[in-house]
Structure 1
């Protein structure tokens, strides 16, 4: 049976087609797999620049363009266009395998042939050639092939090279621009090869298109069959979020791990999609009596995971075996079942009053200090009495406490917990702590496998709950985490919690979501930052890169909010006019006040919006930076990134009160901005009023 893959650009083209045309494409794909030549005619064009190019009939007005192999049955659907446009595309393009990198390339051969005479004349009239000092052997080693090399020898200026940007194969163009910028061939090779999703092979078979496709997962992918492809086309914007690249697939579909496994990596490296595929893999192997728990920090993220899981499998049996619920709801359910009633959760207003009352009674410690001491020392370590607290290590706390001071702090905290008990209320962390003890005392655990997304944001009490939810053994815990995206003040050592991951830790380094330009800019926001991971080791973004390229982020300064909102509306209008779907546009702000003001301004400008969690479809999404976690957009605007707003003053402990907490808070705020900016896939726009956030200073140097 023929196997049909797709080019990434096809998804964009497909999304723009009218529904009747999309249905015709779906029907053609189904027929293709069943009867490649008999039921679906592959038409060869006599004047095509690539003899492997074919077209297929979609309907009376549209045709698809297909790359057919010289041998075998793996085909690539490149695009679907109106009849004349499809023929023009098919006759002009040529596909080759890069001789150095082994990736599949595309070039506009017809346009290159057309521009060659003009370049030849310019070279004849000029004494200086752009690459005169670069030897042929060096160009060939960088992947410049025999057909492009003569053209390269005609270039006289960088302007001529830039004119070829959309005509040359991208890997070859990138190599040439590096040389033109003054880099040595060795430096260019280091840059070009660094962006490869897969290490370049020692020997490249330039005739093996199938192997080249496998090495170019950021642009092409072969799917397992028409069902998978049809599922992809039902959600064209989400489709690339469910694809696994080779490094991710090896992790997700490994037959078994002997114990807990940890996967780390920067934003966009596919940790979440790897976790989703792992859930499906385990869901197929287990039974309803031994289900899989897929969990994360917030309810919004859990809902997003549940939606994405639906894109991966529609098998009801597998779906029934996988429960998706966030940690707080899971803890609440465990406690409710044990009490045989619904426990009340303390609201923030009540908590604030209780902590202020306790602080006033001590006269020595502030309300925020007491609350954090409770959460990050007492609850974090599961301490049950003052003696344990006096002897405990207070890792991460900046103010030293003597024994008598600890006793005083314990009594102040006990006052709050006693009053919560009288009110019959619990905090979410108390529920997690209680639920962990309930499950640990049971002979049978509720799950066979637990998969954790965004592990860096979970509190130790929540980790104890998840450890108690599954019996120790093979494939018990599968965790994905990125310390650089820690946006809540939880610092955890898995080893100290009885979750040993030694020898079962993997790191992903290639960002498949964001262009290298957006990625490089965003990483600079974290200059000097080295957070500690769940494995107690410093985490690094060394080797973190993207194989995709695009425009650099745009940063705009405005005199006031009114002007900033007007500039935002203009930017959103520009994206919409360029064909970006409204729901593929996101706007992030640091706080709810700004979010509401932005939504009002966009609506006044005639742009429909919704929150990040609303059910309205095909409208621009506006939310806080926290709400952006786990989401992706083609285009994203981060607004209000000024000195008075980012970092948020209320979220940062004064340095005089606790210098360690102060640094932790600043790091968390940096990570929050980094998380928001790396939600952008193709375009990032950042704006501020007055003075920029101090975090932007390092990024602006890019």
Structure 2
């Protein structure tokens, strides 16, 4: 960061201690507090009673809570072995352990909910139940598939993943198979298939697991909860071991995880939670910000500390992020934090309107080239690894993969396969290639774009594609979007080359795929807004910001629309300095300019 040496990281710095260029282990408890801002220091020094840290994006929340644990250990208030810090990913837990070691607080347990529960389950199972601990399923999809077969319900691969996700949601919300149909109706959840069928598959899946002595990841939490509820002696043993708790990303806690936390705590209140309701973007998995929002109601004597000094983003980016939340509605919006940037001024965020999607992708690639060019050549001098293109749906990646490849800009995909390497695209390409070799037998009464697109659609129908999208937002919808992108590509080719047939279309696909088969290199990141959570870059491009994509079409209730707004907020707050928000009026060149910019941009431009 400007004006700060590597040896003295700023209060919001996220670099791990113990690496070259970072400070040595502090020599005293007071030295642990050096470099913290007043609010971070308040978190670190409030060691007793319930503590709720409301931490905005980029405000150094991990720094605050790791320094709190380290200060408590170094001051003799906490014994390292009695502290359990819980977060949501193994990466975050590993980073927390590394920081704690660097602060002289090795020995503190930093784990995910699942790994902490699994250790307890394995330890107490012989005493609580007897015999061997049931086998943990690596993946539940195979057993769900068998359960569907026994229920005489046919599922393709994507439908299978969607039903599996529904079972996971049911279990983390503590919903039984019989209660599932009523529960999704009450939650306003858009079921990917008939709830009664999912309920049957869920019940059969649970029976198969029981018959085979197996458990899944959700069972790890459920069984640990069951043992702690039914065996007060075991619950007391756990409470003697762990006396102080810290929970990161508390807005993402599910009802089942909250129940486990309550059992760990018992009647004690040595709990520190940290979160930001404005970054709740995983409610479809069962996460809810209610536990964070209701913390003061459950703990009236709690100390609440707000972290609002943003060390990540420029004042211009922060102003846009604040403006976006100013329009928000609902409970999460009532607790929104007004961030205050601590960084030097940067460029104003750019809003770019384009005629069509290819033009948007090409313009994005050109702007990235400018940012990557050396400063002495008039560029921005931004490394490719410090640039990201973020989109709502993985199906949007193909245009940007192609545009960056055409511009010679290296890129990497996070959280998704490259477009032409996705299973459904490979399957579609095989079907199209076979149809082209055989001759379609279709005289194509419709010429040009409509005819070629209809022909491609007919071939894709043999792989299970339909002109209308499936309900919900799961794997089946992702697969549909990918195949729909092929139909749109056929429309584009038919419009540009009216005589194009299936063989020409297959050749076009091969050419596009080959152009993107360069070796994977360190480059510009392409990823979805969901996957970008927890990451940051110098320059961020938020693309495809049209109504229907953000908020996405299947966000129907006010709560679902507000979660889409929070998703955009997460995207905006990933940027340190350069931020571009763009959209296109039409899908393809020459198409009808019927799209509207995302409603979330109103009043911000």
Structure 2 length-normalised TM:
0.60
What is the SS of the residue equivalent to 2:3? helix
Equivalent position of 1:448 in the other structure: 243
Higher Cα Rg, which structure: 1
What is the SS of the residue equivalent to 1:257? coil
Alpha-carbon distance between aligned partners in 2 of 1:243 and 1:504, rounded to the nearest angstrom: 22
1:456 to 1:425, Cα distance in 2 relative to 1, 3 A: farther
1:283 touches 1:291 (CA, 8 Å); kept in 2?
Answer: no
Equivalent position of 1:343 in the other structure: 136
Alpha-carbon distance between aligned partners in 1 of 2:225 and 2:271, rounded to the nearest angstrom: 15
Equivalent position of 2:348 in the other structure: 552
1:585 touches 1:621 (CA, 8 Å); kept in 2?
Answer: yes
Equivalent position of 1:563 in the other structure: 359
1:559 to 1:330, Cα distance in 2 relative to 1, 3 A: farther
Which of 86, 99, 105 is equivalent to 1:318?
105
2:44 touches 2:68 (CA, 8 Å); kept in 1?
Answer: yes
Which of 509, 530, 534 is equivalent to 2:308?
509
Alpha-carbon distance between aligned partners in 2 of 1:625 and 1:431, rounded to the nearest angstrom: 29
1:263 touches 1:506 (CA, 8 Å); kept in 2?
Answer: yes
Q: Cα deviations across residues 19-41 of structure 1 (Å, max 9, x unaligned)?
A: xxxxxxx8xx9xxxxxxxxxxxx
Deviates more, 1:623-632 or 1:523-532: 523-532
Equivalent position of 1:433 in the other structure: 222
1:298 aligns with 2:193: no
Gaps of 5+ in 2: 25-33, 126-131, 190-194, 374-379, 417-519, 586-594
1:359 touches 1:412 (CA, 8 Å); kept in 2?
Answer: no
Deviates more, 1:577-586 or 1:496-505: 496-505
Equivalent position of 1:580 in the other structure: 382
The Cα of 1:456 is off from its aligned counterpart by 0.6
Equivalent position of 1:461 in the other structure: 256
Equivalent position of 1:37 in the other structure: none
Equivalent position of 1:270 in the other structure: 60
1:630 to 1:559, Cα distance in 2 relative to 1, 3 A: same
Alpha-carbon distance between aligned partners in 1 of 2:353 and 2:146, rounded to the nearest angstrom: 40
Aligned length: 445
The Cα of 1:539 is off from its aligned counterpart by 3.0
Q: Cα deviations across residues 424-482 of structure 1 (Å, max 9, x unaligned)?
A: 665543432222233453232253332222111110101222333455535x3211111
Which of 268, 282, 286 is equivalent to 1:488?
282
Equivalent position of 2:472 in the other structure: none
1:46-445 equivalences under 5 Å are 230-231=21-22, 244-254=36-46, 256-258=47-49, 260-284=50-74, 285=76, 290-303=81-94, 305-306=95-96, 310=98, 313-314=101-102, 318-319=105-106, 321-336=107-122, 338=125, 339-340=132-133, 342-347=135-140, 351=144, 379-380=172-173, 382=174, 397-398=187-188, 414-415=203-204, 417-422=206-211, 426=215, 428-440=217-229, 441=231, 442=234, 443-445=236-238
Alpha-carbon distance between aligned partners in 2 of 1:485 and 1:458, rounded to the nearest angstrom: 12
1:359 to 1:434, Cα distance in 2 relative to 1, 3 A: farther
Equivalent position of 2:324 in the other structure: 525
Equivalent position of 1:630 in the other structure: 534
Gaps of 5+ in 1: 1-7, 16-25, 30-76, 78-216, 234-241, 400-405, 656-661
Alpha-carbon distance between aligned partners in 2 of 1:436 and 1:499, rounded to the nearest angstrom: 20
Q: Cα deviations across residues 40-68 of structure 1 (Å, max 9, x unaligned)?
A: xxxxxxxxxxxxxxxxxxxxxxxxxxxxx
Equivalent position of 1:165 in the other structure: none
CA RMSD of aligned residues (A): 4.7
1:678 aligns with 2:472: no
1:646 aligns with 2:550: yes
